[in-house]
Amino acid sequence: MPLAERTSHVRWALELLAKVPEAFQTVLDQRRTMIIESHNRLRGMLKQGKIEVTPHQPDILGCYVLVPAVLR
C-alpha cells in the first residue's frame, strides 16, 4: 500500500477518535473507579492511606487500522 494511502487511513482513524471524547470519558471514569477501588483495598490491608487517581487525556496508547488486503 502506498505511503499516501496508509497516511490517509491513519489520519481518518485519528480524526474519528477525536470526534467521540464523551465515549472515552465514560471509559476513563470506569477505569479510574476500578483502579482506585483495587488499590485502596490493598492499601487498606497494608494499613496505608488511600490514593487518588487522575486520568490524563487522551488515554490512547495505540491505534490499529485494519484494511482489507487485495489478493492478486
Higher pLDDT, 56 or 1: 1
For the cut 70, the answer to whether the pLDDT of residue 53 exceeds it is yes
At residue 51 the predicted structure's pLDDT band, cuts being 50, 70 and 90, is confident
What gap in Å lies between CA 6 and CA 26, rounded to an integer?
30
For 18-45, write each residue's pLDDT tens digit. 777 777 778 888 888 999 999 898 888 8
Is residue 24 a contact partner of residue 57, using CB atoms and an 8 Å limit? yes
* Coil/strand/helix, residue 25: helix
Cα–Cα distance for residue pair 6/28, rounded to 1 Å? 29
Q: How far apart are CA 50 and CA 14, in angstroms?
A: 36
Mean confidence (pLDDT) of the chain: 83
